[in-house]
C-alpha cells in the first residue's frame, strides 16, 4: 500500500510534489524523502510555518553525525519545500542554501583526442574475428555515442522506430529525467545507422525485439554488454590503465560536450547563449549540468582545439576488411 502524507501540512506536500512533476520531473525519489519528513512532522504534531531547526532536527534524527551524502540530498529537497511554503505562509523562513553542501567526488573525465576516437572506432569494427554482428553493433553504438553524446541507457534503449535516417533525427524517449526529445544527426551517422539496420534486417529477419541494436544471441543489446565491449576496446588499444582512473563510456559524452563548446569558442560564438541549446540536445535537466563543461573547457581548451578539428572527417569512418 502506497504511503501518503498525513501531517498538518499534507496538502501542501501533495501540491508541491504535483508542481514539481508538472515541470517534467519524475520526482518519485524526492517524494519518498518528503514522506519521511512529513512523518516526522506528524509525530511532533507540528502545523503552520516550519522553523529552520525543524529541518535540522529531522536530519540529525535520521542520519546523526554520519551520512553526509544522503543528508545533503535530503536537505536540498526539503529546502525547496521550504521555499514553496513562503508562498503559503508570509512568515515562512527559507533554509540557507550553503548548508550541507554535497562533496563533489566526480573525477575529472577523460577527453579523447581525434586520433583516439578514430582508433576506438577502427578497433570496434574489428573487435571479433568471427562475429560480424558484434563488430557492426559495437561500431554503430560507439559512433552514436561519439557523434551525439548520448547516455549509455539512451543508446541501449533506441528502438527501430526511433531512428529516422530519412529526416536525419533520433527520438530519445523517457530517459534519465523522464523526458523525451528529438535530436538531429549528421549524414555520416545516418549512413552508419542505415547500413546497420539494413544488415540486421537482412541477416536476422526473424529477430522480434523492437530494440535497434542486437547481439549475436539475436536479442536486444544490454547495457552491460555495451560497457564491457567498450572496456575491451580500450584495453586492446592500451587505453585502460592497470591502476588509477579508467575511462568509461560516459567519457565519450564528456568529450562530445567539450568538443562542441570548444568549436563554439574557436568560431567566435556566444557560448553562454548557446549552452541552453546544448542542454536540450544532451537531455540535461538543469542548466548547471551543462555549464559544468565550461570548467573543463577553460582548463583544457588548448587540448580540445588541437584535437577535435577533424573528429568527423575521413578518419572516423567504417573500415571494411
Contact between 149 and 191 under an 8 Å Cβ cutoff? The reply is no
Residue with cell 500500500: 1
Given a cut of 80, is residue 184 above it in pLDDT?
yes
The pLDDT of residue 276 is: 81
Q: Is 105 exposed, middle or buried (0-12, 13-18, 19+ CB in 10 A)?
A: exposed
Give the model confidence (pLDDT) of 294-316 as tens digits.
Answer: 666 544 444 444 444 444 444 44
Identify the active-site residue in 151, 152, 200, 259.
151
Helix axes 223-236, 114-124, angle to 10 degrees: 110
For residue 103, give the DSSP letter: P
Question: For the segment 100-110, what is each residue's pLDDT rounded down to a tens digit?
Answer: 876 665 667 78
Based on the residue annotation, tell me whether 151 is a catalytic residue of this protein: yes
Residues 71, 75, 284, 318: which is the catalytic one?
A: 284
Phi, psi of 190 (to 5 degrees): -55, -40
Please state, for a pLDDT cut of 90, what percent of the chain lies above it.
50
293 is catalytic: yes
Give, to the nearest 10 degrees, the angle between helix 271-282 and helix 250-266: 150
In whole angstroms, give the CA distance from residue 245 to residue 261: 24
This prediction has a pTM of 0.62
Question: Per the structure block, which three cell numbers stand in for 219?
Answer: 536479442
> Among residues of the chain, what percentage have pLDDT more than 70?
81
One of 110, 250, 265, 292 is an active-site residue; which one?
250
Query: pLDDT tens-digit profile of 18-37?
Result: 988 876 667 888 999 999 99
Q: Check whether 112 has a pLDDT greater than 70.
A: yes
From the list 176, 203, 217, 269, the catalytic residue is 176
Q: Is 174 a catalytic residue?
A: no
What does the block give as the cell for 80? Answer: 525547496
Q: Is 250 a catalytic site residue?
A: yes
Catalytic residue chosen out of the listed positions 100, 253, 254, 259: 253
Q: Which segments of 94-213 does DSSP mark as H helices, in order?
A: 114-124, 132-148, 152-157, 187-203
Of 265 and 8, the one with more pLDDT = 8
* 134 has catalytic annotation: no
Residues 121-175: pLDDT tens digits? 999 999 998 899 999 999 999 999 999 999 999 999 999 999 999 999 999 986 6
- Give tens-digit pLDDT for 67-94: 667 788 899 999 999 999 999 999 999 9
227 catalytic residue (yes or no): no
Amino acid at each position: 500500500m502506497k504511503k501518503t502524507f498525513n501531517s498538518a501540512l499534507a496538502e501542501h506536500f501533495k501540491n508541491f510534489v504535483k508542481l514539481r512533476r508538472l515541470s517534467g520531473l519524475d520526482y518519485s525519489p524526492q517524494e519518498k524523502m518528503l514522506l519521511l519528513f512529513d512523518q516526522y512532522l506528524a509525530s511532533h504534531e507540528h502545523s503552520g510555518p516550519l522553523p529552520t531547526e525543524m529541518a535540522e532536527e529531522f536530519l540529525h534524527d535520521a542520519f546523526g553525525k554520519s551520512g553526509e551524502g544522503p543528508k545533503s540530498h535530503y536537505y536540498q529537497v526539503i529546502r525547496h519545500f521550504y521555499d514553496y511554503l513562503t508562498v503559503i505562509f508570509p512568515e515562512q523562513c527559507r533554509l540557507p542554501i550553503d548548508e550541507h553542501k554535497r562533496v563533489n567526488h566526480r573525477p575529472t573525465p577523460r577527453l579523447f583526442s581525434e586520433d583516439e576516437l578514430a582508433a576506438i572506432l577502427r578497433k570496434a569494427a574489428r573487435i571479433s574475428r568471427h562475429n560480424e554482428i558484434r563488430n557492426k553493433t559495437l561500431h554503430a553504438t560507439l559512433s552514436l555515442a561519439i557523434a551525439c553524446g548520448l547516455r549509455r541507457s539512451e543508446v541501449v534503449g533506441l528502438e527501430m522506430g526511433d531512428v529516422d535516417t530519412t529526416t536525419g533525427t533520433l527520438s530519445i524517449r523517457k530517459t534519465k529525467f523522464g523526458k523525451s526529445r528529438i535530436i538531429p544527426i549528421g549524414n555520416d551517422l545516418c549512413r552508419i545507422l542505415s547500413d546497420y539496420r539494413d544488415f540486421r534486417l537482412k541477416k536476422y529477419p526473424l529477430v522480434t525485439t523492437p530494440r535497434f541494436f542486437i547481439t549475436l544471441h539475436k536479442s536486444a543489446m544490454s547495457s552491460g554488454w555495451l560497457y564491457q565491449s567498450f572496456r575491451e576496446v580500450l584495453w586492446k588499444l592500451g587505453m585502460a590503465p592497470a591502476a588509477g582512473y579508467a575511462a568509461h563510456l560516459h567519457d565519450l559524452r564528456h568529450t562530445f560536450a567539450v568538443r562542441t563548446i570548444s568549436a563554439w569558442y574557436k568560431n567566435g560564438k556566444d557560448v553562454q547563449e548557446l549552452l541552453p541549446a546544448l542542454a536540450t540536445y544532451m537531455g540535461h535537466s538543469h542548466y548547471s549540468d551543462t555549464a559544468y563543461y565550461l570548467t573543463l573547457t577553460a582548463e583544457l581548451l588548448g587540448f580540445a582545439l588541437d584535437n577535435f578539428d577533424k573528429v568527423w572527417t575521413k578518419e572516423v569512418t567504417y573500415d571494411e576488411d
